[in-house]
Structure 1
């Protein structure tokens, strides 16, 4: 069973770590649940069966009524890729997709955290600082590689499909968090700002935190499965309109390009753009950030559902 860590300790760690973990628990869970609700019956049954093969499955559904087991499992599965960062049996193999074996896809026997699978840093600059290319193994490469293993004719075992599905439930959410898709290179941060992890921001509520953490926390922080289900019902995310043509785009490279463009236009807009210290976020900035986050979450859910329905017809 998973090591128990207090919500306060986890929130503190993720707010100040340079490791990316998009949307935090509640955002990932809501995206996964929205997608699950859009699955066709054969796809939902296949998802249910594959999630049972995860070593933490019994922990995910503990105390859950039978009618809610599928939903509880998919929500907890969506944060497994972040949960393993807190488990002692997994080791930190770095934050760069250049490490040996970075793109290996071997299933649950892999005890590496693969933090670099969570993002693709498409760099940009506003002061002519040299921009470095994204690492060769990243969110785009892994979404493509993991997706290819899901269909029945892929030759993969169900154990590997389970591993890949659990990662995809998380990574597709990550791909739609704008600051998982870019990094600003500048005189202040010549090596890149790690998707806003090296930038401090102060929203209206007054707590100074990293810009990346501000965007991650759009849908709340760390929660129980039951809480996430109630939040989805009340959040209004399911009523956010999604353009069908855009939702049908299935190229992860385009997903990350879209997110990078949103980051540059909104996440790094004023007052962040010109800030030399902590950026004091304005009401206009926070309103735009909220609207972008909601639209991206709804889009991620539809694209995730489309991917799974296609893989398991």
Structure 2
């Protein structure tokens, strides 16, 4: 009973709502990665995160000694959180500043940084040119800037670290690496990573295929809840292949996710038009297994990436 106030307080510490794996998935990935960081690297990451304008919100009410953990876990949702901030503006991938990397003075939401659309068609539908800016392009810029030897300001390095915590997770969600074009869905953006197809899972509602995959880990979560889920039969119980975990090439991550999307996200009973389909038990079981494996791999790769460039 003495621990009850701490438990209640911890469960009330929420990050803002997010999308793409939704906040629960991103937070689990960040927590598992944080536990794998070298102590010196962890200290450098902690110091950089303190420069984020939302740092005080991330750590407000955190249990003593857990402030750094809470900040790191919450930081993984910041790139989605800014979509709800009134002072952040929408933009287009074709804008002149779409690929800029300038730090916290940048008040663009950069929605197009969250994915790498590898285009394909199962029926020979014509494909347009790929967008000029995507998650892989931006992540490579951030990786180059993050080492202290880059000469970049700490403001920019902090901004890039926060985005990296999110984008590594995004690139391991299969539908963040693909756009499918068919005779029935052949607009300029194709199916937008499964946003044009709709499915009916066992829960009974009709939702976009993309949203179905995004929410596999759950939606709005507390830091306490994400840590609990990650450590109690969550992704921390999965040990990724060591060789794969040491692959820190974002291009390779996107290609892997693209193949997983074709093999699993678009597997039967998914159609090539917009007709909502009822998902089978087999589809949903495979989807959960793929998501868990990808999240665990994302956590390991994020830790390995940061251990290399911040050491």
Q: How does the TM-score come out when normalised to structure 1?
A: 0.91
Which aligned segments of 4 or more residues in structure 1 are displaced greater than 4 angstroms?
Answer: none
Instruction: Give the secondary-structure state (helix, strand or coil) at the position aligned to 1:148.
Output: helix
Q: Is the 8 A contact 1:122 1:133 kept in 2?
A: no
Among candidates 81, 99, 103, match of residue 107 of structure 1: 103
1:305 aligned partner: 303
Per-residue deviation, 1:257: 0.5
1:164 aligned partner: 160
Instruction: Give the secondary-structure state (helix, strand or coil) at the position aligned to 2:194.
Output: coil
CA distance in 1, matches of 2:309, 2:124: 43
**What is the total number of aligned residue pairs between the two structures?**
294
Per-residue deviation, 1:132: 2.2
Instruction: Give the secondary-structure state (helix, strand or coil) at the position aligned to 1:123.
Output: strand
Among candidates 173, 178, 181, match of residue 177 of structure 1: 173
CA distance in 2, matches of 1:156, 1:263: 36
CA distance in 2, matches of 1:273, 1:265: 13
1:79 aligned partner: 77
Per-residue deviation, 1:274: 5.2
Q: Please say if 1:244 is aligned against 2:239.
A: no
CA distance in 2, matches of 1:303, 1:63: 30
Q: Is the 8 A contact 1:124 1:182 kept in 2?
A: yes
Q: Is the 8 A contact 1:120 1:134 kept in 2?
A: no
CA deviation string 1:171-205 (max 9, x = no partner): 00000000000011011111200000111110011
1:3 aligned partner: none
CA distance in 1, matches of 2:274, 2:158: 45
Q: Is the 8 A contact 2:98 2:110 kept in 1?
A: yes
Within 5 A, what are the aligned runs for 1:90-239?
Answer: 90-94=88-92, 97-191=93-187, 192-239=190-237
CA distance in 2, matches of 1:269, 1:54: 41
**Aligned CA distance change for structure 1 residues 161 and 276 (closer, same or farther; 3 Å):** closer
For structure 2, which runs of at least 5 residues remain unmatched after alignment? Answer: 1-15
Instruction: Give the secondary-structure state (helix, strand or coil) at the position aligned to 1:170.
Output: helix
CA deviation string 1:74-133 (max 9, x = no partner): 111000000000000101113xx2221111000000000000000011011111101223
Instruction: Give the secondary-structure state (helix, strand or coil) at the position aligned to 1:219.
Output: coil
2:53 aligned partner: 55
Q: How does the TM-score come out when normalised to structure 2?
A: 0.92
Q: Is the 8 A contact 2:32 2:299 kept in 1?
A: yes
Instruction: Give the secondary-structure state (helix, strand or coil) at the position aligned to 1:218.
Output: coil
CA distance in 2, matches of 1:276, 1:85: 27
Q: Is the 8 A contact 2:176 2:193 kept in 1?
A: yes
CA distance in 1, matches of 2:159, 2:233: 29
Instruction: Give the secondary-structure state (helix, strand or coil) at the position aligned to 1:310.
Output: helix
CA distance in 2, matches of 1:268, 1:227: 31
Bigger Cα displacement from structure 2, 177-186 vs 266-275? 266-275
Instruction: Give the secondary-structure state (helix, strand or coil) at the position aligned to 1:120.
Output: coil
**Aligned CA distance change for structure 1 residues 276 and 83 (closer, same or farther; 3 Å):** closer
CA distance in 2, matches of 1:193, 1:241: 33
